[in-house]
């Protein structure tokens, strides 16, 4: 196994709270093991534009508690092309990088897998996304913080909902996965939860709302995942208003507030564990893998598998949601 001398670290794709903590952990474990860490700005764009900077342990001071990513993230269309990746590799080679830690989502991992296959640059992925939809880890970095942000927002919405006879539709992030909607819906006591994995018809939702009213509830909160296919929160709101004229129907789209904020303790610890694990994997000659945590243990999953498979939601939680809202 060739000695690892220099490792590049980048954040790519959608940002997530805790990415800074992952960068810090990767940089500091490089220092710990006598490897020179090199920060790459704006994801793959920085590799193509040669926007690199050698880091030291102090370069990542005071960032563990900051949301976002100080290296910035970017979407880079050029990296999707073989020519773009060749340019990126040429810069990586000229800088003497022996490996790359890629903190991002499945798009970023696809890019990592391709540059490794085409040019032999060892890459290790670290899952950073609020959606928690990456196969090979029980939790992604940013998910726990996003859950807490959403629950805090819904608690506030509940105050105004109960002060009037209001029905709130709260749209949360999750284009393909309902993890955020399902878990925050339970935690914030939502009357209904709409997720892409369990498509409810509008009629079923109407029945549920009618039952809620019969059970004595005068206000309701419906958490709707972005990926729900009922036509979107605004269309749903107008259908509900037509059927339930007594309800004052309001819509709140939480949007990008869910991406920001100080990372939670869980996210900081997860990011620290995975940042260290990524550098250790490269040291041990493991690459083309993503590091994750399963059943409390750090594990590796081939990038190919992490990209092609998906974590399923826990169906038992749907039952719990139904029971606790009678």
Catalogue the active-site residues: 131
Contact pick of 20, 110, 137, 301 for ligand ADP (by CB under 6 A): 110
Distance CA 101, CA 70 (A): 15
Pick the stretch among 47-55, 71-79, 239-247, 280-288 that binds ligand ADP (CB under 6 A): 71-79
Q: Considering the rule CB under 6 A, would residue 125 count as an interface residue with ligand ADP?
A: no
Q: Considering the rule CB under 6 A, would residue 239 count as an interface residue with ligand ADP?
A: no
Closest approach, Cβ 306 to ligand ADP, in A, equals: 11
Q: Which is nearer to ligand ADP, 36 or 106 (CB)?
A: 106
Closest approach, Cβ 103 to ligand ADP, in A, equals: 9
Contact pick of 6, 72, 80, 250 for ligand ADP (by CB under 6 A): 80
Whether 130 and 145 have beta carbons less than 8 Å apart is answered as yes
Q: What b-and-e string marks burial along 165-193, b requiring 16 or more CB atoms within 10 Å of the CB? A: ebbbbbbbbbeebbbbbbbbbbebebbbb
Distance CA 95, CA 52 (A): 8
Whether 261 and 132 have beta carbons less than 8 Å apart is answered as no
Contact pick of 105, 174, 185, 263 for ligand ADP (by CB under 6 A): 105
Q: Which two tokens stand for residue 193?
A: 């939860």
Closest approach, Cβ 85 to ligand ADP, in A, equals: 7
- Least Cα distance to 108 among 52, 164, 69, 154 occurs for 69
Contact pick of 8, 13, 127, 178 for ligand ADP (by CB under 6 A): 13
- CA distances in angstroms from 209 to 64, 215, 249, listed in the order given: 43, 10, 12
Q: Which is nearer to ligand ADP, 14 or 18 (CB)?
A: 14
Instruction: Considering only residues 133 through 172, tell me which ones interact with ligand ADP, judged by CB under 6 A.
Output: none
Closest approach, Cβ 133 to ligand ADP, in A, equals: 10
Instruction: Considering only residues 291 through 320, tell me which ones interact with ligand ADP, judged by CB under 6 A.
Output: none
Pairing of strands 220-225, 192-194: parallel
Place of tokens 């972005």: 226
Beta-strand runs (E) in the chain: 6-11, 36-40, 52-54, 99-104, 123-127, 166-172, 192-194, 220-225, 248-253, 289-294, 297-302
Q: Which is nearer to ligand ADP, 8 or 105 (CB)?
A: 105
Contact pick of 31, 90, 114, 253 for ligand ADP (by CB under 6 A): 114
Give the interface with ligand ADP as residue ranges (CB under 6 A).
12-14, 44, 75-76, 79-80, 104-108, 110-111, 114, 129
């Amino acid at each position: 196994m060739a000695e690892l001398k220099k490792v590049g670290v980048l954040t790519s794709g959608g940002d997530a709270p805790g990415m800074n903590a992952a960068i810090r952990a990767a940089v500091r474990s490089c220092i710990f093991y006598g490897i020179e860490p090199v920060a790459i700005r704006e994801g793959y764009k920085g590799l193509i534009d040669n926007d690199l900077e050698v880091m030291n342990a102090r370069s990542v001071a005071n960032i563990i508690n900051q949301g976002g990513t100080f290296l910035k993230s970017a979407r880079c269309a050029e990296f999707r092309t073989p020519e773009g990746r060749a340019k990126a590799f040429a810069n990586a080679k000229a800088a003497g990088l022996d490996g790359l830690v890629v903190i991002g989502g499945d798009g970023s991992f696809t890019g990592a897998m391709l540059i490794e296959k085409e040019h032999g640059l060892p890459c290790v992925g670290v899952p950073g996304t609020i959606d928690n939809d990456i196969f090979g880890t029980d939790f992604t970095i940013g998910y726990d913080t996003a859950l807490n942000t959403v629950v805090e927002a819904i608690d506030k919405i509940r105050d105004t909902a109960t002060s009037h006879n209001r029905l709130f539709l709260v749209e949360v992030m999750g284009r393909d996965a309902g993890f955020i909607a399902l878990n925050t819906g339970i935690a914030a006591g939502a009357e209904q939860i709409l997720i892409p994995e369990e498509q409810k018809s509008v009629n079923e939702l109407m029945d549920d709302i009618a039952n809620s009213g019969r059970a004595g509830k005068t206000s309701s909160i419906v958490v709707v995942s972005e990926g729900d296919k009922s036509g979107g929160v605004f269309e749903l709101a107008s259908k509900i208003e037509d059927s339930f004229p007594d309800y004052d129907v309001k819509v709140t789209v939480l949007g990008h507030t869910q991406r920001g904020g100080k990372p939670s303790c869980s996210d900081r610890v997860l990011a620290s564990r995975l940042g260290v694990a990524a550098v250790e994997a490269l040291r041990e000659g493991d690459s083309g893998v993503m590091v994750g945590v399963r059943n409390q243990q750090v594990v590796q999953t081939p990038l190919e598998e992490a990209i092609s498979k998906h974590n399923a939601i826990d169906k038992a939680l749907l039952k719990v949601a139904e029971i606790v809202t009678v």
